[in-house]
Structure 1
């Protein structure tokens, strides 16, 4: 198992010093799944939700969240993201929406936390906009799907 990098030699939380790392292109993709009733999914997909463009609002929320990740997660570095995308896949057979985010930059540290934050906040926004019609929605399967760049290279989740 790898050493925990956010602890100093005394076991105290600290922000990792990345100043000696080389810049490289860093990319991460993450997902979140939100499951709801068929009626709620139909409201969203048919564009009949009284709050308007649910996906549009959730997309902007996810993008904003990625940009503010270091304000939310205490030891994250503030990053100059060059790309943030949030997309939605309707999974009608399971009455779910799969939220997928992509974050990219050229820098000294990875963007996994930004991608996870974007996917999570987009799913939370879907929940917020639809909770009046379906308070029992479930957000699950929040995970990193892919990471590129840096010393550890490129990997995909199985």
Structure 2
């Protein structure tokens, strides 16, 4: 058996069979930031962006993306998520996005949290690009995961 679970003995990619695994509570948090001009940040905070409610739209986009992860990422299982949350925190010249996904199931939700965070960041860019085309998305990463065989992990 290959050490990589998505490869069979011949090296061909396949979806991992999780049928025999027990269902456990699972949670993942992922996040990243988008840096922008002070003017763009002020407009987003004030709700004055030309395309409308940037953060409200980004929150919905992130939630929708988490629900579609199994369709977007090859070999990801389609999951019946229990909850997805997308939160925002303003910095001096950036917005930090944190997405949390959870379920009780047989496989983790790391990819769902990462997908939610990345699509929320992309949506902020799309909604605010008229204000600042030079925005930079950075630092997308898994922040925490709980549940399953590997237990609890927190990024350093």
Bin the TM-score by the shorter chain. over 0.9
* Partner Cα distance (2:103, 2:41) in 1: 34
* Partner Cα distance (2:50, 2:122) in 1: 18
Q: How does 1:1-80 map to 2 (within 5 A)?
A: 3-80=3-80
TM-score (norm 2): 0.97
Cα deviations across residues 59-98 of structure 1 (Å, max 9, x unaligned)?
A: 0000000000011001000000000000000011xx1100
**Contact residue 84 and residue 100 of structure 2 kept, 8 A:** yes
| Structure 1 gaps, min length 5 | none
Deviation for aligned residue 1:136: 0.9
Cα deviations across residues 74-126 of structure 1 (Å, max 9, x unaligned)?
A: 1000000000000000011xx11000000000000000000000000000000
Cα deviations across residues 18-50 of structure 1 (Å, max 9, x unaligned)?
A: 011110000000001111111100110122112
* Partner Cα distance (1:4, 1:140) in 2: 28
Residue 105 of structure 2 is matched in structure 1 by 107
Deviation for aligned residue 1:140: 0.7
* Partner Cα distance (2:133, 2:110) in 1: 29
SS at match of 2:151: coil
SS at match of 1:139: strand
Residue 91 of structure 2 is matched in structure 1 by 91
Number of equivalenced pairs: 155
TM-score (norm 1): 0.96
SS at match of 1:153: coil
Deviation for aligned residue 1:14: 0.6
Structure 1 runs (4+) greater than 4 angstroms displaced: none
SS at match of 1:89: strand
